[in-house]
Amino acid sequence: MIKINLIPQEYLKKMESSILIAKILLGSFLFAVIIALISIWQVVRATTLSIELSSKNLEYTSLKDDVKQAEDIKGKINEITNYINAINTITKNRYIYVAFMQDMVNNLPPNIWFSGIETRSSGNTLSITLNLSSGSLYEISWLLLFFENNKRFQNVAMGNIAVAESDNGNIYTTQFTANYVYE
């Protein structure tokens, strides 16, 4: 079967060019619609972000006072903590001399006397130098043993013993050095 095209060529070319123009117009319209939709979406998104930013700024300004109050409270807490620590340090080291003298008086043998006591305080440690005399070597050795066995006395050292004669017998003089730790 043979088909014969009775439509004139010019009409077909005109129709093809109209279809091409229609396709170009449809493509341009779709492109413009897509651009418009994307633009609308971006504007809505920008508006939403702007509203969210303004609400966050309002929240920030309302919380700024609370943050400042919290920082002020932290500063006051630190100040009070430092004050309490200073009081505890003073209180802890306040009785070091009293404790040292009580240890000495309560444990000093009856036949020992001091010719000098020198102390230097450093925190909870008291560096002591004792110049003492006794009528008995046994009492000096007992005092040395007491110092060495007492946990509060550390780095105990005894100097040379000097002997002097008197009407009541020999008098022994020596020097003790130690660190007295009060806890």
Rg, Å, the chain Cα set: 51
Domain containing 138 — which CATH number?
Answer: 3.30.1360
Output the pLDDT for position 78: 95
Percent of the chain having pLDDT more than 70?
A: 98
Question: Is the model's pLDDT at 10 over the cut of 90?
Answer: no
Average pLDDT, stretch 138-153?
91
pLDDT band with cut points at 50, 70 and 90 for residue 129 = very high
Q: Which of 61, 79, 94 is the last residue before a domain boundary? A: 94
- DSSP assignment string, 135-165: S-HHHHHHHHHHHHH-TTEEEEEE-PPEEEE
Average pLDDT, stretch 22-40?
94
Question: Is the model's pLDDT at 77 over the cut of 90?
Answer: yes
Output the pLDDT for position 177: 94
Looking at the structure, do residues 85 and 135 belong to the same domain, yes or no? no
Contact predicate 163/174, CB 8 Å: no
Output the pLDDT for position 53: 94
Question: Quick check: is 3 in a domain?
Answer: no
Looking at the structure, do residues 13 and 38 belong to the same domain, yes or no? yes
Looking at the structure, do residues 37 and 72 belong to the same domain, yes or no? yes
Residue 67 belongs to domain spanning: 8-94
Question: Quick check: is 2 in a domain?
Answer: no
Q: How far is CA 178 from the centre of its chain?
A: 35
Q: Which of 31, 63, 94 is the last residue before a domain boundary? A: 94
Q: Which of 67, 94, 121 is the last residue before a domain boundary? A: 94
Single pTM value for the model:
0.52
Looking at the structure, do residues 76 and 120 belong to the same domain, yes or no? no
CA distance 144 to 104: 12
Percent of the chain having pLDDT more than 90?
A: 54
- Structurally, the chain folds into a number of domains equal to 2
Query: Which residue shows structure tokens 């040395």?
Result: 144
**How many Cβ atoms from other residues are within 10 Å of residue 133's Cβ?**
16
Question: Is the model's pLDDT at 62 over the cut of 80?
Answer: yes
Looking at the structure, do residues 56 and 132 belong to the same domain, yes or no? no
Question: Is the model's pLDDT at 127 over the cut of 80?
Answer: yes
Average pLDDT, stretch 118-147?
90
Which residues, 6+ apart, have CB-to-CB distance to 121 below 8 Å?
A: 93, 96, 97, 127
**How many Cβ atoms from other residues are within 10 Å of residue 74's Cβ?**
10
pLDDT band with cut points at 50, 70 and 90 for residue 31 = very high
